[in-house]
Amino acid sequence: MLRIGMLTSGGDCQALNAAMRGVFKTVENNTNEPVEFYGFEDGYKGLIYSKFRILKDEDFTNILTIGGTILGTSRVPFKTIREPDEDGVDKVAAMKQTYYKLQLDCLVMLGGNGSHKTANLLAEEGLNVITLPKTIDNDLWGTDMTFGFQSAVDIATRCIDEIHTTASSHGRVFIVEVMGHKVGWLPLNAGIAGGADIILIPEIPYDIKKIIDVIEERDKAGKRFSIIAVAEGAISKEDAKLSKKEYKKKLAKHEYPSVSYEIAEKIQEATGKEVRVTVPGHTQRGGMPCPYDRVFASRLGAEAGRLILKKEYGFMVGYKNREMVKVPLSEVAGKLKTIDPKAGIIKQAKMLGICFGD
């Protein structure tokens, strides 16, 4: 009997179900050994508190196109994983106990950066773990792509697309705030695809004067409107000079809902133009996965299934140079894949006339 546990951890995104389906179908179709799949509910919480259900073939029927996760998900911060919960439960010990109680051969975890830290910890504690790279931010180390990213790019791009007509009709400046606290892959790609005039990402601190100059130059050239794609983690050059402690202290006293509203106020004061902020928010993580993500997540799931059957554990299934690869969890945990300000995609965007505020 082959016993496999699966859980989805952290923020939800598109194609989680497609990835789990890929694991299930691959294992079922490529072994004569009896197989049991255990689905842990609400991420690591299900593993900690032994909340699970046995997954059958019907659980994976017609879920390829469904967003979210059939197992539910939650965030269990890695920084508190070694701390007992409010009832004194040792979270790591509890996860191990559940794993061994069910006599699991391995645990498949679908998650992002923080979730991979916990997965690596469990691997170091002796559990057989395989992970799949899930996040709309595309910021996981060791893989060129994460599933959920392309679907989120599509949604954010459509938002920018729809803004064009109202922006041009009213002659306004529109700011579209795109998800991305620490990295800017999503706003960068959506901004280019949506024809944004200015893109602000965390990796390139902005100068508000440069942004205002671009808007005024466009106005002089007879261009009635400007569109700015802003990462929620965009930061000014002044703030980038602050220490982390100083910056957190400043944010705690912040009078604006987000950085986009601060930028909007400064632009309006300097130019006299009407500025509007649009925040697509969690719509970027929701809904049906795009065809690319369905294919990509299915391939990742299939490769994870292959590793399970070969008993190769302690890896994240990644994607490098258009091929599936296995990346040691120890190399993935705790690392972010940020954008190099000198990267080709930044240079090419600048050649197109896009301003990054630098």
pLDDT of residue 171 exceeding 90, the answer is: no
Read off the pLDDT band of 169 (50, 70, 90): confident
Domains and CATH numbers, the chain: 2-148+289-332 (3.40.50.450), 151-285 (3.40.50.460)
Give the pLDDT confidence score for residue 44 in this predicted structure. Answer: 98
Give the pLDDT confidence score for residue 253 in this predicted structure. Answer: 78
Mean pLDDT within 272-283: 95
Give the pLDDT confidence score for residue 243 in this predicted structure. Answer: 86
Read off the pLDDT band of 293 (50, 70, 90): very high
71: closest CA among 137, 5, 129? Answer: 5
Read off the pLDDT band of 299 (50, 70, 90): very high
pLDDT of residue 9 exceeding 90, the answer is: yes
The whole-angstrom separation of Cα 135 and Cα 150 is 10
- What tokens does 265 get? 């106020």
Of the two residues 54 and 254, the one the predictor is more confident about is 54
pLDDT of residue 294 exceeding 90, the answer is: yes
- What tokens does 54 get? 């046995």
For the chain, the average pLDDT equals 96
Give the pLDDT confidence score for residue 136 in this predicted structure. Answer: 97
Mean pLDDT within 190-198: 98
pLDDT of residue 27 exceeding 90, the answer is: yes
φ, ψ of residue 12 in degrees (nearest 5)? -75, 165
Read off the pLDDT band of 251 (50, 70, 90): confident
Mean pLDDT within 174-188: 97
Read off the pLDDT band of 203 (50, 70, 90): very high
Give the pLDDT confidence score for residue 331 in this predicted structure. Answer: 96
pLDDT of residue 247 exceeding 90, the answer is: no
pLDDT of residue 245 exceeding 90, the answer is: no
Burial of 288 (C-beta count, 10 Å sphere; 0-12/13-18/19+): middle
Give the pLDDT confidence score for residue 111 in this predicted structure. Answer: 97
Q: Which residue has the tokens 């990267």?
A: 343
The whole-angstrom separation of Cα 246 and Cα 236 is 14
Give the pLDDT confidence score for residue 95 in this predicted structure. Answer: 98
Residues with active-site annotation = 137
Length of the chain measured in residues: 358
Could you read off the pLDDT of 106-127 as tens digits, one per residue? 999 999 999 999 999 999 999 9
The whole-angstrom separation of Cα 1 and Cα 211 is 62
Per cent of the chain over pLDDT 90 is: 92
φ, ψ of residue 292 in degrees (nearest 5)? -60, -50
Q: Is 342 helix (H, G, I), strand (E, B) or coil?
A: coil
Could you read off the pLDDT of 147-159 as tens digits, one per residue? 999 999 999 999 9
Q: Which of 38-52, 244-258, 273-287 has the lowest mean pLDDT?
A: 244-258
